Homo-oligomer: A and B are copies of this chain.
Amino acid sequence: MSGVCCLLEVAGTEYLAPVDADSCRELFSSQAVARLATIGPGGPHLVPIVFAIDGDTIVTAIDQKPKRTHRLQRVVNIEGDARVVALVDHYDENWDRLWWVRADGAASILRSGREYTAAIDLLVSRYQQYQAARPDGPVIAISVARWSGWQAAPSQ
């Protein structure tokens, strides 16, 4: 667990407590949306994603509409530099309840095969919205090398 952190620069909170890796996975999974950062020639790139987790792999898919977007910037970026980071956070007016979890890893693009199908199945089972329109674009599979997370520890 990294010691480099800061959780929204919390005023009024004395301690920021690291979250263990198992809890990181659990907290990450508890949210419907994450944000995915990649690196491109023009700088960092950042998009919201829906996702599913299988162990230390996070998967997200490119939808079938519109087809031209199958060559999305995030895909182009990953093909050039596999290093990515995905983040889930929880905001609350009470800053003693803030937390975030980050997953650093390497991404690959899947376009067919057993792993591809398994990833799509996982996404469809997690999001009912996908049941009406199964994604058929590329899958981004992130092999997570490090989970890190922090949560506010209320002031004494």
Q: How many copies does the complex hold?
A: 2
Residues of chain B contacted by A9 (CB below 8 angstroms) = 49-50, 60-63, 135, 137
Interface residues of A in 6-56 (CB under 8 A from B): 6-14, 16, 32-33, 35, 37-39, 42-50
Q: Is the CB of A43 within 8 A of B4?
A: no
Asked if A65 CB lies within 8 Å of chain B CBs, one says: yes
8 nearest A-B pairs in the assembled complex, by CB-CB distance: A43-B83, A9-B63, A11-B133, A48-B89, A37-B37, A37-B44, A33-B91, A46-B87
In the complex, 27 of the A-B residue pairs with CB atoms within 8 angstroms, ordered by the A residue number, are A4-B72, A6-B47, A6-B63, A8-B48, A9-B61, A9-B63, A9-B137, A11-B65, A11-B129, A11-B130, A11-B132, A11-B134, A12-B129, A32-B93, A33-B89, A35-B35, A35-B46, A37-B44, A37-B45, A39-B44, A43-B84, A43-B85, A43-B104, A44-B44, A44-B84, A45-B85, A47-B102
User: A: which residues have CB within 8 A of B?
Assistant: 4-14, 16, 32-33, 35, 37-39, 42-50, 60-63, 65-66, 69, 72-73, 81, 83-87, 89, 91, 93, 95, 98, 100, 102, 104, 129-130, 132-135, 137
